[in-house]
Structure 1
């Protein structure tokens, strides 16, 4: 009896010490959790994809917490016979019909935002394409939205597959929007448009000149269109592309902007060399664009082409 009684007392004493030792730790975790939650809520609206929980993981793990985010949280499209069939299950509204089929490449991931969607390449650290659905009302609303210029690295992409702010610093290239900030009809979509997942290294003179005119002309067309206009924008690379920064963000040789009017079923593609000497040139046909790139972005059989 005495041994059993001593054992129980020993167990209770040990338990009390354990509780007493762990209480500060639990309190600290609670305080940190509350702080992180408050921080997350405060920043999520301004930069919904910009909050990088990965940078907090080593500290949280040291406190005994599990990993808070999976690095490869963006969906990966399915590969078929050398091509990729995208799905964009979370944002099908940005597409005029069947989802794009594109050549298969390393680490392609689908990202949905409030006003556009991106197929991102972890190889180039830039978009394969960015797609928007625009209409007259959105263009009118966008005129009243203030530009923010707050660039951020895309937190949903693994660090090894994304561009970082330092990659562009001192590179001589501008951070060229694929979905233009000038198209954004809300403060939230404006903030999201500054994700580096929406950028390519672009020649500064081309970005500020001919490319800016193409973006403005596209908005003018949408403002006159009867219904929805779908716009796909993206980079094209030479076989041996130059790169910038420690992340080796690829520099495109050309940029494209494909405009598709769903009401008239007309399409055209602006094809621009990423150079200071480039001027606005006549658009090419969708068929020629597919031949040059292998990107099947539209439901091909429904199209009437310009020029």
Structure 2
């Protein structure tokens, strides 16, 4: 799977989702499951215990199944200036940029069984810097604090998609976040995420979802680490059974939800041919 080459320039598009107090990170590290480990200090190094040894490697090898056709995005198609990094988690994969300090694309495989398991899973709200990313190439918690105007840490793979405690904890890594307008994140984008889940619960098999930021010319940054703030966000849905695909592309601002666009329009709008040569036989008017 290839991405169209990205130009970084004045007029170019660059490629590029609050609740109650929850359990601490140490509690999450010690949850029963394949990655459970001994307690340590609640730091980025402790958070490393949330990931298997394979997931600690900068490769999509351990999560190829999360991509349609089991064909991961080729990081070599991303400009070297973006310093791309491949990151696997239990239920999502991240094409990350050490330049923007954000994900460029986050990929999920959803289906009815997974979302049934995810329903009622306790949201943790324990955000942490991703320990798999070199310190100079990652966002820190401090980057999101005290911003004017305020920004949310916007999940790209939603916490509500996580089917178990370890997967839930992984969604709160800053490698799964972009600086997002609070109203957009909590209302408009939340509705988009909910609509996608509703479709995936009805679908006949796996539904693949690509989510990410778009950085138009003039985008801003936050924090000492200069985390890029997207001007728009996208969510592309591909139903593997019906071969239908559609996408939302919305401003990172207080806005109204819009009807999804077909895949061809998405590619023309963003320059992102995320499905490569996979067959696309139609779209939907609404999810």
Q: TM-score, normalised by structure 1?
A: 0.72
Do the aligned partners of residues 255 and 197 (structure 1) sit closer, same or farther apart at CA in structure 2, a change above 3 Å counting?
same
**Paired residue for 2:215?**
237
Q: 1:144 aligns with which of 120, 126, 131?
A: 120
Are 1:211 and 2:189 counterparts? yes
In the TM superposition, residue 42 of structure 1 has moved relative to its aligned partner by: 5.0
Secondary structure of the equivalent of 1:209? Answer: helix
Q: Does 1:156 align with 2:132?
A: yes
**1:225 maps to 2:203:** yes
Q: Does 1:110 align with 2:86?
A: yes
1:130-172 superposed Cα distances (whole Å, 9 cap, x missing partner): 0000100111111121000000000000111110000001121
Aligned match of 1:286:
263
Give the corresponding residue for 1:199: 177
Displacement, 1:285? 2.0
Q: Taking structure 2 as the reference length, what is the TM-score of the superposition? A: 0.77
1:260 aligned residue (226, 238, 242):
238
Match of 2:97 among 121, 128, 133: 121
Does the 8 Å CA contact 1:74/1:157 hold for their aligned counterparts? no
Distance in structure 2 (CA, Å) of the matches to 1:161 and 1:254: 22
Task: Kindly report the root-mean-square deviation, in angstroms, between the aligned alpha carbons of the 2 structures.
Answer: 2.6
Unaligned stretches of 5+ residues in structure 1 = 1-37, 55-72, 76-86
- Deviations 1:211-261 (CA, angstroms, capped at 9, x unpaired): 100000111001100100000100000123200000111000000000000
Structure 2 residue 91 is the aligned partner of structure 1 residue 99:
no
Match of 1:52 among 44, 51, 64: 44
Residue 185 of structure 1: aligned partner:
163
SS at match of 1:111: strand
Could you tell me how far apart the structure 1 residues matched to 2:134 and 2:103 are?
A: 14
Number of positions where the alignment pairs a residue of Structure 1 with one of Structure 2: 239
Is 1:251 the equivalent of 2:256? no
Q: Is the 8 A contact 2:97 2:103 kept in 1?
A: yes
Structure 1 residue corresponding to 2:252, chosen from 274, 286, 296: 274
Question: Which one has a bigger Cα radius of gyration?
Answer: 1
CA separation of 1:143 and 1:159: change in aligned 2, threshold 3 A = same
In the alignment, structure 2 segments of 5+ residues that lack a partner are: 1-25, 47-55
Instruction: Quote the Cα distance in structure 2 between the aligned partners of 1:237 and 1:74.
Output: 27
Larger RCO of the pair (alpha carbons < 8 Å, separation 6+):
2
Q: Which of 45, 60, 66 is the matching residue for 1:88?
A: 60
Give the 3-state SS of the residue equivalent to 2:82 in structure 1.
Answer: coil
